[in-house]
Structure formats: C-alpha cells, structure tokens
C-alpha cells in the first residue's frame, strides 16, 4: 500500500543518518539543500562527529537537539523508534518519526542494521557495499524482498547518478553515437596515497573471512556501473525487458606493491614512520601525507580519519595542539608476534610502515565480464566484453577513465570529458560534463554522484509517501534499478572474487542459480 499521508503532504520528509562520517556528510549535505526534505536525526557513537553533524545539518549551532534527533548509536535509535510506535498506537502524543534512513556505518555493520530495521518498513539507502559476504547480502535480500512493495530501497552505487555518467549513458544507449557497444575498458585509478591510507594502513586493509577484498570495498560500484551500461535496457523504467545478463566472469589480481619485499633497504628495521631513518625520502611517509600535505596547509578533510576530533582541537587549541595529537596517533605501533592479532585488526594504524603492515588485499586487479548475443528480447543485444582494472599506484585519485569500442565508432571518457569518434564521417565530438558543486569537489563526491543518488532517493520517497505513487513505479523511475539489480552487482563482485581465488571462469547463470538455491531464495 502507498504511504500516502495527506496531513504531511506539505511537510518536509524527515531522514535519519546512521553514521556521521564522510559518507554520512556526503548525503546529508545535498539532502539539507532540498526544499522537500530535511536531515532530522543522527546516530553516531563519536561525540565530536555527532555534535558537529547535528549543529551543521539538524539543530543548528548553539541550539539543543529535540527529542528523537540525537542518538549515540543505531540501537538506541531503534529502541526509541519502536517505543515511539508503541506509544503512538496507544493514542499517546509522540514526536513524528522519520520517513527514511541513510545507513553510513562501517561495512561490517551494515547487515546487522539492515536486518534490524527491515521490520520497520522504512525507506532505506544503504552505503555500499551492502555487506561483506555473499551470505550476508543474501540475508538482506531475503529480508527486504517481501517488503519491496512497501519501501524504497537504494544502495550507494553512486556512479549511476553523476551528471557525467548520466550523459555518458544517454550518448551510448539512447543516442547510440558509436552504434552497438562491443567492448569496454574501464579503470579505477585509486591513487597511490589513497590506497595506502585506506587499504594498507586503514580499515579495509584485510580481506574478509571468504578472502574477498578491495574489489568489494572499493570498486563494487564500478562493477554496478558496467552492468548499468551493458545489462540494463536504455529505459531503466521498462518492466518487460529482462536484463542482459553476463555469460562468464573471470578475474586476476595480486598484492604487488605494499609488501615487505619492496621495503627500501634504507628503512632498516623501522616499522613506524616517526622512527624511520628513510622517512623524509619515502613517498608513503605518514608525516608527509598527513602533516606536510594537510595539517600544515590547513586541509583537514582526511585527518579526521586519523584523529576523530582533530578539527575540534585545531579550532579550539590551534595548530600546535592539533599536530601534537596527530603525531601521537601516528606514533602508535604494534609488534608482530607480541601484540594480539585481534588488537591489531580492530583499528587502523596510519603511522605504520606500508611495507610492514598486516594488509592482504589486492592492489592491482582485473575483472573480465563476457556477454553472449541475445535475441530473446525486443531489443537485439549483441555480444560484448568488458574489462575493469582497479589499480593502486596512480597519480589520479578515483578519477575513472575508460574507452568504449562500438560498431560505428569509439568513445573515451575521464570523468570530466567525453570524446567520441564516428567511423563513417571521421568526425570527433568532445563533450564536457558540468562540474560538481564546490563542496562536493572538496570531499571527492563522485562527480556529483552522491548528490544525484541522494536526490533520486528523496524524490522516490516523496512520490510514494506524499503522492501515492506505487513503490515499484517510484523505484524504477527515480532510483533507476530494482532490488534485484542492486544485489546482482554485489553478486558479480563475489563471483569475480571466487574466480580470482580459484583461478577459474565463472559461468554466471549456473553460478547464480546455485547460490540462490543455497541461500533459500526463489530462482
């Protein structure tokens, strides 16, 4: 049934953000600028982050949060919301609840949160990846499939929603500027220091129990981007045209750079940058990355990953106090064989030597996806091939680039510019995509993709809750994909990782059917 509430048709939609880190801010900023929506509540365990987020997006600086606006964690909010609903049913006057939730916590927390909030039948946008294992993703699919007619469901596959990629898809699939797509080469250049920060020293440096790694945590939205271009029909709202599904998936990858065998001899036995004799010459020096290139020049965006309250310290006590706090954190280290592994694994070590870390995820990986020709739908869909390359040591930071080869031309893109060449008339056309707003450029907001995704989610919720549009129609029109589409992209990632580990080629149809049966889902 639609969530139509005539009494609130003119009221702003209300959303809670669970997790007030970088991803929470990336969604809160655009939502707070929409005329029809507001960030109403936050659940965040870090006091500074919660207070700063609330003052910025909810209750305002110097004000006190109202009941139901501030929670120390998601469980506290869930208990409050369940109690609020009980009182409301009994006729007690209670605060108005939220219409939707943004789940922006650490990856490993997603499955518990998603399973817990599914019974609320609340609209949800979950940051990618949905979960860190195929089993957990399947459990989320199991929980939300029965209620997909009631709630809008979206995933942080932001590449679909950037102005650049929206234009790219239109040129390729609607305008067909290079004819049929035959082959795609898509690259995510992670960035030399970014990979060291997040995947060598940071929270995503270790693979999961199933040995899935950086492809899932860093690049699952790149795989979704390829499926969006090559599997979905040009009109994503079409209901009767099934997705053009891959034939085979394969992958190879390795940890090539961030390993002890590459440690410079001049570094000796040092395991921490602050005590390393080679620190001033090393490109991965934590002092150079976090102090020289950031704190010293007033750029604090990435520093709050290292010291949560460094911005507070900087504004109240000054740069010397902030530097003291930063260096104290960077100087923390562990001793292999002495420090318990559980203690090492539970937190980042941003001052640790990148060649002496406990990382094991690939820093270079290629995925190959093959489609056979498909004549079963009203659209003739030729066979095609896509390769995706995730690589760590690059000058560019997350600025995707690619080349697409078509039956009538060739197209290249780099996140800012699209260039295509027509074979018949030998003409070249260059198109520049609009720049993202200044704030989104500052926080690397996927070329406006975060804004596009958040806006699409809000519009879908508004259509359902305020205008009685069916959830299925709003899901397709605004979100642009079904619940199954969102999960399929994750499944392809897990298939690619299985192919990499076992050095085999995965046949998608039989693999996906076997996994659905294994986890008790209808085919």
- Render pLDDT for 273-286 as a digit per residue (tens, 0 to 9): 999 999 999 999 99
Q: Percent of the chain at pLDDT above 90?
A: 82
Q: Are the C-beta atoms of 246 and 505 separated by less than 8 Å?
A: no
Buried b or exposed e, range 33-46, using 16+ CB within 10 angstroms: ebeebbbbbbbbeb
Distance separating alpha carbons of residues 94 and 346, to the nearest angstrom? 39
This prediction has a pTM of: 0.92
Contacts 24+ apart (CB under 8 A), 117-120: 117/78, 118/143, 118/144, 118/147, 120/78, 120/81
When the pLDDT of each residue in the chain is averaged and rounded to a whole number, the result is 92
Of the two residues 133 and 3, the one the predictor is more confident about is: 133
pLDDT one-digit tens code per residue, 310-368? 888 898 899 999 999 999 999 999 999 999 999 999 999 999 999 999 999 999 999 99
Q: For 267, how many CA atoms within 13 A lie in the half-sphere containing its CB?
A: 22
Give mean pLDDT, residues 472-491: 92
111 pLDDT above the threshold of 80: yes
Annotation: CATH topology of 160-258+360-449+484-518: Dihydrodipicolinate Reductase; domain 2 (3.30.360)
DSSP 437-456: PHHHHHTT-GGGHHHHHHHH
The superfamily in CATH containing domain 6-158+451-469 is NAD(P)-binding Rossmann-like Domain (3.40.50.720)
pLDDT one-digit tens code per residue, 143-202? 999 999 999 999 999 999 999 999 999 999 999 999 999 999 999 999 999 999 999 999
Domain boundaries, the chain: 6-158+451-469, 160-258+360-449+484-518, 261-345
Buried b or exposed e, range 488-510, using 16+ CB within 10 angstroms: bbbbbbbbbbbbbeeeeebebee
């Amino acid at each position: 049934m639609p969530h139509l509430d005539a009494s609130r048709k003119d009221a702003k939609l209300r959303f809670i953000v669970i997790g007030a880190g970088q991803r929470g801010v990336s969604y809160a900023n655009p939502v707070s600028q929409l005329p029809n929506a507001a960030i109403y509540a936050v659940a965040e365990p870090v006091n500074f982050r919660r207070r700063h987020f609330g003052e910025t997006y909810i209750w305002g600086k110097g004000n006190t949060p109202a009941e139901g606006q501030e929670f120390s964690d998601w469980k506290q909010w869930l208990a409050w919301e369940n109690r609020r609903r009980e009182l409301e049913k009994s006729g007690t006057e209670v605060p108005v609840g939220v219409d939707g939730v943004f789940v922006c916590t650490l990856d490993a927390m997603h499955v518990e949160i998603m399973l817990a909030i599914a019974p609320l039948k609340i609209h949800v946008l979950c940051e990618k990846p949905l979960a860190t294992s195929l089993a957990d993703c399947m459990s989320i699919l199991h929980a939300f499939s029965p209620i997909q007619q009631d709630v809008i469901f979206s995933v942080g596959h932001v590449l679909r929603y950037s102005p650049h990629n929206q234009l790219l898809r239109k040129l390729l699939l609607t305008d067909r500027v290079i004819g049929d797509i035959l082959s795609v080469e898509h690259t995510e250049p992670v960035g030399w220091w970014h990979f060291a920060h997040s995947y060598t020293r940071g929270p995503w440096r270790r693979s999961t129990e199933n040995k899935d790694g950086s492809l899932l945590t860093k690049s699952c939205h790149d795989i979704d981007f390829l499926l969006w271009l090559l599997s979905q029909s040009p009109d994503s709202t079409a209901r009767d045209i099934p997705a053009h599904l891959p034939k085979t998936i394969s992958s190879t990858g390795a940890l090539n750079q961030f390993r002890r065998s590459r440690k410079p001899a001049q570094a000796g036995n040092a395991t921490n940058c602050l005590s390393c004799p080679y620190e001033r010459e090393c490109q991965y020096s934590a002092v150079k990355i976090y102090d020289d290139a950031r704190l010293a020049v007033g750029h604090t965006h990435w520093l709050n990953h290292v010291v949560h309250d460094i911005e507070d310290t900087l504004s109240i006590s000054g740069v010397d106090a902030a530097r003291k706090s930063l260096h104290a954190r960077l100087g923390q280290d562990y001793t292999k064989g002495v420090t318990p592994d559980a203690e090492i694994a539970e937190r980042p070590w941003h001052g640790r030597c990148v060649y002496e870390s406990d990382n094991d995820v690939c820093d270079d990986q290629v995925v190959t996806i093959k489609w056979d020709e498909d004549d079963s739908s009203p659209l003739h869909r030729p066979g095609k091939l896509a390769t995706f390359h995730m690589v760590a040591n690059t000058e560019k930071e997350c600025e995707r680039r690619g080349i697409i080869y078509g039956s009538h031309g060739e197209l290249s893109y780099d996140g800012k510019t699209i260039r295509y060449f027509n074979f018949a008339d030998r003409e070249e056309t260059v198109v520049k995509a609009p720049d993202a707003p200044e704030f989104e450029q500052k926080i690397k907001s996927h070329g406006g993709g975060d804004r596009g995704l958040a806006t699409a989610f809000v519009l879908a919720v508004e259509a359902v809750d305020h205008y009685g549009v069916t959830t299925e129609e709003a899901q397709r029109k605004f979100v642009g994909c079904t619940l199954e589409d969102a999960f399929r992209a994750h499944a392809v990632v897990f298939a690619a990782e299985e192919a990499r580990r076992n050095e085999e080629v995965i046949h998608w149809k039989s693999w996906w059917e076997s996994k659905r049966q294994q986890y008790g889902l209808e085919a």
